[in-house]
Copies of this chain bind each other. A is one copy, B any other.
Amino acid sequence: MSSRAVGRPSNTAERREEIVDALLSVMSRTGYEQATIALIAREAGLAPGLLHYHFQTKQEILIALVERIVARRDRRLAARLSAAGGDPRDQLLAFVDAHVALGDDADPRTVAAWVVVGAEAVRQPEVRALYTEAIASSLARARALVAACLRQEGRSTRNAGRIAAAIVSAIEGAFLVHASAPGTLPDGYAAPTLRRMVAGLLEREVET
């Protein structure tokens, strides 16, 4: 494909990955603004100028990072869902597990970075668009799974959206608290409790 006669084979793809990964690391410690090009470059073991060869702007690196986090989450989710079998309830629990796998490939750096991304979404429209899309996607997926559960039990799906919102809120909230108020959540809290929460939300109507 490349018209390059001989020359050096392009290493742009890997370089971009390295740079995005360096931003992830630095950002999880310093936030986005304080993640300077110089710091990111040092973290990646590259010269500062090189970052602007591979990315036009610093924001572009952030965008790439957000896309990568989302893509990995989607990939992980797909894997778990396909492994969970056909039962709707199991599928929903797989959804939860895929998100709260804090010790899996979603390392602490990513959790902290994700929280920082959330704050950047407050002010950067481009980031907000991606973030919103990611949340909306999660919500839609959760809603479908919740609806399937309800249908299976012959119940109305009227509340599926709200229940999905509760689930996604709790997941995102757990990330936030984990990163911003470390040590406050009980150990091993996430998976079992969220699972129970899901179960509870699916119980028969409660007078509210």
Contact = CB atoms under 8 A, between A and B. Distances in A.
Contact of A165 (B135, B193, B203): B193
A121 interface: yes
Interface residues of A: mostly helix, strand, loop or mixed? helix
A136 B181 contact: yes
A143 to B, nearest CB: 9
Interface of A: 7, 28-34, 47, 112, 115-116, 118-123, 128, 131-132, 134-136, 139, 159, 161-163, 165-166, 168-177, 179-186, 189, 192-197, 199-203, 206, 208
Given A165-B174, A171-B173, 18 more contacts: A31-B33, A31-B119, A33-B34, A115-B122, A116-B119, A116-B122, A118-B118, A118-B179, A121-B180, A132-B183, A139-B185, A166-B170, A169-B174, A169-B185, A173-B174, A197-B197, A199-B200, A200-B202
